[in-house]
Each structure stands twice: as C-alpha cells, then as structure tokens.
Amino acid sequence: MTAAFAAPFSAGFNPAWDSAKVRPRMEDPSRAEDNDLVARTQAGDATAFDRLVVKYSPRIYAVVYNMTANHEDTSDLLQDIFARAFRAIKGFRGKSSFSTWLHSIAINFTINFLRKRGRRHTVSLNDVDAGIERDEEFIEMTSPDTPRRAHELREIQMRITDAMMKLSEDHRAVVTLHDVQGLSHPEISKILGISEGTVRSRLFYAHQKLQKYLNDLREP
Amino acid sequence: MKHDPDSIQKMLRLKRHERPPEGFFEDFLSEFQVRQRNVLLREPLWRIALDRIGAFFTTDRRAQWAYGTATIAVVAVAGYSVLPAGGPSPTTERVVSAPTPAAETFVATGPSALVSGEFAPLSVPGAGPQPPGDPSADARPHYVIDARPVSYAPPYRF
C-alpha cells in the first residue's frame, strides 16, 4: 500500500503543479470587466465602449506620447486609435485580452505615423505628476533645492526624451512597453507580434544605445 | 563602457510620471464622440453599408452558414419555378419536329388561268409520291410557275 501510494510521486508526479492544472485559473477581474464591456459594445451598447475609452486612454496616451514625444500628435493619434478600435471591435474574438489588442492597434498606428512623418519632429514636454517628488531615482539624480530641482527635472525629461527619439521605432516601442509601461516580455511579444527572444534582443540593444546617450546624466 | 541596464531602466521609469495637461482626459471622451458623429455624417452610405455587412459576417459564423444555406435555397426554388412542370411544352415539340412542308408546284390549267387564278398542282416526274395531306403542314403552298404564260406562247405552229 505504501509502495502504491509512493509510486505516483516517484514517477515525477507533482501535486502542486498538477492540482494547478486541474483547478481552473481565476480570471483577472480587470480582464473580466473588459470582456463584459466588449460584449456589450458588440451588442450595440455604445456607452460600454465609452467606459473602455475612459479606462484605457491614459495608458494608451503614455504609449503613444513616449513614441512621438509630441502632445498634439499624441492627441490626434489617440482619437484615430480609438476610432479604429471602435470600428474593428465587432471582429474582436477574445483570443487575446482587450488590453493587448488595443495596445497592438496603438503601436501599429503610431509606427505607421512616425514612418510617414520621417525624422522631423518637435518635442513637447508633458507635465509630471506629484508622485515624481517621491521617486527615489529622481531624488538621487536631482539636488535637494526645490527650485533647482524643478529646472533639473525639465532637463532630465528633455535628455531622456531626446535619447528615446534617437532609437528606431521598433526599439523605442519595446523600451516604452517594457521600461515605461512595465509590461512583461510575453505581453510585449503578443502586442508586437514578435518572439520573446526578439523582444529581449531589441531591449538589450536599446539599453546599450540609451546608456551611451545618457551616460553623462549618471556622472556625479 | 559597462552596460548597466538597471540604471537606465530606473531613469526610464521616471517617464511614468509624465502626464498630459490637466483636463485632457476629461475632454477627450466628449471630443471623441463629436468626432465619431462627424465622421458618420460625412461617410457615404455605401461605405457604412459595406462596413456593416463586413462586420456582420465576421462576428458569427453561424449567421454565415444560415444565410448561405438560405441563399442557395432561394436560388433553387426560383430555378425550379422557372422550369415548366411535366417536361418540355407541346409547342416546343411541334416547332422542333415539324417537317418542312412539301413545296407544291402549281401550273396554270388554261390560258385563262392567269386571269381567273385557277391553278392545279403539278405532279413532277421523279419527285416521288406526294405526301398525304399532313394536318401539321398548314403552311401556305409555294407557287412555282413552270408553264410559259399564254402570252409568251407562239401564236403559230409549224
């Protein structure tokens, strides 16, 4: 009896792993809410799509702004991205999350816009929220004097933005999604339609480039 | 140059604090709705219809199958109703199989025939027996005047 009980374990049976397979995975509440809003939009409820716009516009704004570095371009692109999403939502099957799908539309739209626009661009710096005052990295980089800190903040923003704009659109996209948005490699690979290996290699190359551009910011 | 991704990532994370001007997102939704309405007003009707049809057939495959089957059924019923019941029509058969009526040759029965219009059918040697009166051969007889008119006949004989 002991041998019979031990046999599954000795054969490589892992109760923790197999029980996870058997137990249904709890759906992310945010994803469940998105699925509900998408279903209602597809059924003809336009107010459901309005809620999706309100929920995702800050996030998509950040993605697009970090790609374009221009507030006016970002504002126009944001309108086009949500208009495109509204027209295409009937064909959304739910194979990926709505967030991934929307990010994918945003990145494709923005990259197409940047390639048509070419290298010419004007950088417009956004405001920063009060949370930056508590950011350790920011505190480390700037002086304790508040007026000087504000000046240094603008300078840091400008330098980082300029360095990002020197990257190609593809490298800028992975840096924006990973370092600024905090998305994981698998999520980025789904959004961009590339392998995780390609995501990692692009990130490595982009970080090397940015290191070169921003090296003097780290010097004492 | 030593690559230090950690410090670069820390610097890049500062960009998370960047925000658009105050009130941007409050106005964004209403501007989006106004823009959508303007686009719909400017869009031609055929394009809106095309979008709707495309969206309809990409949402639910069951609808595709149902409408495809219904279309085939409608075409089949329409085709069957065009075809007549019981085979081809009798008029068609008559038209197809009616033989060409035999040409009957008529000659003047006498000098006065041309004046009075009396003509009799001419039996041409070698032509074979004339077919009996065929009820289907209602075509008008074809008149072939072989005999020379009286006026052309020489008034004298040697």
Query: Per residue in B70-99, pLDDT tens?
Result: 889 999 999 988 887 655 555 544 444 455
Report the pLDDT value the prediction gives residue A219, as an integer from 0 to 100: 52
C-alpha B46: how far from chain center: 25
pLDDT-above-90 percentage for chain A: 57
Closest CA–CA distance from residue B5 to any residue of chain A (Å) = 6
- Consecutive H or E run containing A115: helix A98-117
- Of the listed ranges A23-32, A41-50, A77-86, B141-150, the least confidently predicted one is B141-150
Query: For chain B, what is the mean pLDDT?
Result: 68
pLDDT digits (tens, 9 = 90+) for A123-174: 777 777 767 777 777 777 676 666 777 777 788 888 899 999 999 999 999 9
Contact residues on chain B for A94, CB-CB shorter than 8 A: none
Give residue A24's pLDDT. 44
Phi/psi for A24 (5° steps) reads -65, 140
User: What residues in B contact A124, CB-CB < 8 Å?
Assistant: none
pLDDT in the model for residue B53 = 77
pLDDT at residue B83 in the model: 81
Q: Which residues contact A127 (CB under 8 A, 6 or more apart)?
A: B18, B19, B20, B21, B22
Residue of B2, B25, B32, B59 to mutate, interface with A, max A Cβ within 10 Å = B32
Query: What is the per-residue pLDDT for A190?
Result: 96
Residues B121, B130: Cα–Cα separation, whole Å: 11
The answer to whether residues A74 and A68 touch, using CB atoms and an 8 Å cutoff, is: yes
Q: Tell me if residue A61 falls in helix, strand or coil.
A: helix
Give me the interface pTM, i.e. the ipTM: 0.71
In A47-180, beta strands by DSSP E? 127-128
Q: How far apart are CA B133 and CA A96, in angstroms?
A: 87
**Quick check: A215 and B1 CB within 8 A?**
yes
Asked whether residue B25 carries a pLDDT value surpassing 50, the answer given is yes
Q: Please provide the distance, in angstroms rounded to a whole number, between the alpha carbons at the two ends of chain B.
A: 142
